[in-house]
Every structure is written in structure tokens, then in C-alpha cells.
Structure 1
């Protein structure tokens, strides 16, 4: 395995451990053990845990951007793209119930630690916020697009937090349906887009 592949493996392992155990509770030894590297070989790629954290945040941002781009290509209607975001709660329900939202948990932990990378972690939320706002603009809600985007983010984070606390899958599904209903109520264009086209059934 080349140096680039090894480095990527380290970052992916650290990403998983930071999510499951937390950044502060994860040690160099934990990451090197997960990857199967000696300490010497490990230090060749990363000298400090903060360097790994920077790489993990960069990986998450790149993966999130790729996911948003995929949603853009897969759905022609902005309402369907927003629903794709909300549906993450169901797609990742098992992980969320076990460990919470990866974006929220990392941001909260780094904020509590007053870590220098806390603002970088928030960039993941900013990425979602700006993307959601663009979808609401496309739905004709330019004046309050950011407010609506923040509401969707708030709802999704609240659901993730309570899902972790209560481990209730039905709760997640009910809340996702409620967010869909909220979207239809606040954006008539979204409700129209969700209705079947009569011509398709003629």
C-alpha cells in the first residue's frame, strides 16, 4: 500500500473513531491499532492528533459536497433535494441512535474544548445551510430562505439528539414526515412538486 493510500486509511479510521468515541477520547494508539500501523509508521503521516482532525474535517467537507452535488443531479425539483437532506435521518437512523449526528457531535465537542478547529467543524453546517437556502430560493422564498434553511437544520439536529437519547426509530420516522408536511405548508411549490402528475397516469 502506498503512502497516499495509507494516509487515507488513517483519516477514514480516525473519522470513524472520532464519531463513535469522540475526538478527545480517541488516542493515537486507538487510530494506529485500527489501521494496523506501528507508531513509527503512523508518525510518518501525522505528527499530532490535531493534524488528523484537520484531515478528518476536510474529508467530511469533501464527502458532504459530493453528496450535495449528487442530490442536485438526481432531483430536478428543489423540494425533492430538501427531502433528500431530511431523509438522511432515516437512512442513518442506526448510527444516529447509537452516536448522534456526526456533524453536531463534533462541533459541540470542539466548542466545549474551545479547540482551534471548532470554526472549521462549523463549516459543515454552513455548507448545509447555504445549500438549503439555495433550494428555498428556487422555491420562491428568497426573502426568508436562510431562515427556512436554519429551521430545517434545527429540526434535523433536534431529531438526531432525541433519537440518540431515546433510541426510538418510530420517533425519527414521525418527525421526518412532520418536516415534509412543514415544507409543503410553507412552500406551496414544494407541495405541488410532491403531487403526482395526472398526465403520467392518463
Structure 2
């Protein structure tokens, strides 16, 4: 296996582990076992856990950028594109209910640890925020586009947190439906900048 393939497998395994059990609780041994590497071979690719974290954040940023570009290509209107973001909660409901939001959980953990990479992890939220704000601006809500983007981010993070805590499937569906109705009103110009209830 090529070194780049092995490195990619390590990063993907670390990404899964960090999401499912947390950054701090994941060891080199856990990741090496997932990939089937000896510690020596593992250290050839990564000398420190923080190097793996940097690679995981970079992978998540790349994947998120690709996802957003896909939505731009597939969805004809900004309302449809924002809807794609909201419906992540449904598409990933099983894993969200088990582990929370991968962006939110990593950001929260790194903040608690006062880890140097916390700002890098926050770049995922910043990427979503800017993208959502651009969509709202395209809907004609230029003046409050950032505020609306933050409403959507706040709502999705709250739903993900409560879904993981309470395990209520109907809750996720109801909240996505409420967000859809709110977005329809925003797109129609009949709703002020307020969070969906």
C-alpha cells in the first residue's frame, strides 16, 4: 500500500474515532488498530496526536467544501441550498443521535481542553456561516444575512445536541419541518429575522 493511501486511512480512522469517542479519549493504539498498523509504521506518518488532529480538521474542511460545492451545483435556488444544510439533521440522524454533530462535538471538546487547534476546528462553523450568509443574501436578505445564517447554525446545533441527549427521533423531524416552514417564509419575504419556534 502506498504511503499516501496509508496516511489517508489513518486520517479517516482518526476522524471516525474523534467523532465517536472524542479526541482526548482516542489513542494512537486505537487508530493504529483500526488501520492494522504497528506503532512503528504509524509513527512514520504521524509523530504526535496533534498532527493527526490537524489532518482530521483539514479533511473535514475539504469534505465540507466539496459538499457545499455539490449543493451549489445541484440546487437551483438559495432556498433549496439552505434546505440541504437543514436536512443534514435528517440524513445523518442516526449518527447525530448517537454521537452529536461532528463539528460541534469536536469544537466543544477542544474548547474545554483549551487546545491550540480549537480555532482551526471553528473554521468549519465559519465556513458554514459564510456559505449560509451568502445564500440568505441571494434571497435578498443582505442586511441580515449573517444574523439569519447564525440562526440556522444555532438551531441545527441545538437540535443535534438535544437529539443526542434525548434520543427522540420525532423531535428531529419536527424541528426540521419547523425550520423548513421558517425558511419558506424567509424566501417569500413574509418572515422577519427571528428564529423558528
TM (normalized to structure 1)? 0.93
Is the contact between residue 78 and residue 136 of structure 1 (CA under 8 Å) also seen in structure 2? yes
Give the equivalent residue in structure 2 for 1:153: 153
Kindly name which structure, 1 or 2, has the bigger radius of gyration based on alpha carbons.
1
Deviation at residue 189 of structure 1 after TM alignment = 5.7
CA displacement at 1:188 relative to structure 2: 1.1
CA displacement at 1:115 relative to structure 2:
0.2
List aligned pairs for 1:23-172, cutoff 5 A. Answer: 23-172=23-172
In structure 2, what is the Cα distance between the partners aligned to 1:14 and 1:189? 44
Q: Deviations over 1:101-159 (max 9, x none)?
A: 00000000000000000000000000000000000000000000000000000000000
Q: Is 1:17–1:31's contact at 8 Å kept on the other side of the alignment?
A: yes
Q: Does the Cα contact within 8 Å between 1:78 and 1:138 map onto a contact in 2?
A: yes
Q: Are the structure 2 counterparts of residues 190 and 38 from structure 1 closer, same or farther at C-alpha, using a change threshold of 3 Å?
A: farther
User: Structure 1 residues 41 and 190 mapped into 2: Cα distance closer, same or farther (>3 Å)?
Assistant: farther
Q: Which blocks of at least 5 consecutive residues in structure 2 are unaligned? A: 192-197
Tell me, in whole angstroms, the C-alpha distance in 2 between the residues paired with 1:139 and 1:91.
25
- 8 A contact 1:183–1:190 mirrored in 2: no
Measured against aligned partners, the alpha-carbon deviations of 1:146-182 in whole angstroms (never above 9, x if no partner) come to: 0000000000000000000111111100000000111
Give the SS at the match of 1:187: helix
Give the ranges of 4+ consecutive aligned residues of structure 1 lying more than 2 Å apart after TM superposition.
Answer: none
CA RMSD of aligned residues (A): 1.2
Aligned-partner Cα distance in 1 for 2:173–2:32: 38
CA distance in 1, matches of 2:73, 2:135: 13
1:195 corresponds in structure 2 to: none
Question: Cα deviations across residues 17-76 of structure 1 (Å, max 9, x unaligned)?
Answer: 000000000000000001000000000000000000000000000000000000000011
Query: Counterpart of 1:31 in 2: which secondary structure?
Result: helix
TM-score w.r.t. the length of structure 2 is: 0.95
Q: Residue in 2 aligned with 1:22?
A: 22
Q: May I ask how many residue pairs the two structures share in their alignment?
A: 191
